[in-house]
Amino acid sequence: MRRLPDWIQRLLTALTGKAPPGLEPWFRWTPAGRMVFTLASYLAAIALGAWAVRSGGWTWLLLPLAWLLVVSNTRIIQTGIVHHASHGTLLLAKFWNDLLGEFFSLLIWIQPLELYRRDHGPHHWETGSKNDPDLRFIVQVAGMRPGLTVPEYWRQFWRTLFSPRFHGMYLWARLRANFVEASGPRRVAAFVWVGALAAIAAAGFGVELFFAYLLPITVLTQMSAWAGLLGLHQWVREGDGERPAKEVLAGLTSGRFLGEAAPLPTLTGAAAVRAWAGWTTRMLFLHLPARVAIVPGDLPSHDWHHFHPKTRDWANAAYARRDELASTAPNARLYTELWGVKTAINGTFERFSKLPTNADLGEPLTYRERQSVLLAM
């Protein structure tokens, strides 16, 4: 894709999640700017869905687009805004950082910020080890036990994706975190928010509320989170105790980019037309939706985040990762990359398939650990 004109390279960077050498962005995001833009995009997507339902007729065709955008912004709020608030890197002032982290977590019905902060710690410290709740959830709850074949793992993936039990557990964890485990003020805020939603429904907008807001932030977002989790890391440590800890952890996480090579410039005539038409179609209708719904925001550079969890430049992660990769920093040689959601998930499945069926992947999950994995997924 670097052969393509300069004017399209920034758009391709946004689509793929990877910045090419020498390219500068149109502008640099601040965390606050990214937060405001995400909130505006989220509300606009909900409004689009509500308008599509309210208007009826052909406008219902816009509902899938609205769902895609609501899911994307919901995931960006969780994995971007609330996530970085938990690291203290959303806003400089701790009061506003925590207050807005709480606000956004309630808006999308995930756990309060303090619970998120507590549950997120093992994701950095124990990734891929026997103590990692995420790994143990994938094996014990989602049925990805070691030693299966890659096709068997894919069948289990699809079963979980559409499993009523999985979605019921997930939704219950979200409700319990807000109405049972939360602090008193957060529970009050949750009940006020429910009351506001009930008032909207009572005013005659119940159908719009369900299709434009409730459905995409629950079932559809939970499907996105499950697909995203399996490709987030390769999940099983390799070389633990034999290599430096940083190398072992780096081997669990790769850049996860979307897209594919542009057609060869040697193609001419009808062959060139077919190749470019196919490439354009796949970029717009395969890779772009995957980027928007499954690997949104700064998730393509999740490996960079693990090297720099306290940085405030997370909103420009694609360019920051690119710059470190080109530098003499010790981390530069540890970066790897995968292209495509399927390729990233296959990386996990291939590691699992190489394990003996009796591999020890940790103690049984406690109820509390299961809840924390679902909430932080």
Q: What is the DSSP string of 158-192?
A: HHHHT-HHHHHHHHHHHHHHHHTSS-HHHHHHHHH
pLDDT at residue number 8: 94
The strand pairing partners of 255, in sequence order, are 337
In a domain, 280, yes or no: no
Summarised one tens digit per residue, pLDDT across range 92-111 is: 999 999 999 999 999 999 99
Mean pLDDT on 222-231 = 96
For residue 243, which phi and psi values (nearest 5 degrees)?
Answer: -125, 160
Give the burial class of 176: count Cβ atoms within 10 A of its Cβ; 0-12 exposed, 13-18 middle, 19 or more buried: middle
Residue found under tokens 């079932």: 219
In a domain, 11, yes or no: no
pLDDT at residue number 66: 97
Mean pLDDT on 256-263 = 96
Residue 275 has pLDDT above 80, yes or no: yes
Summarised one tens digit per residue, pLDDT across range 20-67 is: 999 999 999 999 999 999 999 999 999 999 999 999 899 999 999 999
Q: What is the DSSP string of 124-150?
A: HHSTTSTT-HHHHHHHHTS---TT--H
Q: Which residues contact 374 (CB under 8 A, 6 or more apart)?
A: 137, 169, 170, 173, 174
* H-type alpha helices, the chain: 6-16, 31-55, 63-76, 83-86, 94-107, 113-125, 133-140, 150-161, 164-179, 184-200, 206-209, 215, 221-232, 245-250, 269-282, 288-293, 302-307, 317-325, 341-353, 367-376
In a domain, 24, yes or no: no
pLDDT at residue number 97: 96
Q: Which residues form the domain of 336? A: 29-258+295-376
Summarised one tens digit per residue, pLDDT across range 158-217 is: 999 999 999 999 999 999 999 999 999 999 999 999 999 999 999 999 999 999 999 999
In a domain, 245, yes or no: yes
Distances from the Cα of 12 to the Cα of 48, 82, 142, 259, angstroms: 25, 27, 34, 9
pLDDT at residue number 129: 85
pLDDT at residue number 98: 95
pLDDT at residue number 126: 81
Residue 122 has pLDDT above 80, yes or no: no
In a domain, 23, yes or no: no
pLDDT at residue number 297: 95
Closest CA to 228 of 110, 124, 377: 377
pLDDT at residue number 243: 79
Summarised one tens digit per residue, pLDDT across range 316-332 is: 999 999 999 999 888 89
Are 91 and 32 in contact, with CB atoms under 8 Å apart? yes
pLDDT at residue number 250: 85
pLDDT at residue number 370: 92
Mean pLDDT on 59-76 = 96
In a domain, 281, yes or no: no
Mean pLDDT of the chain: 93
Q: How many folded domains does the chain comprise?
A: 1
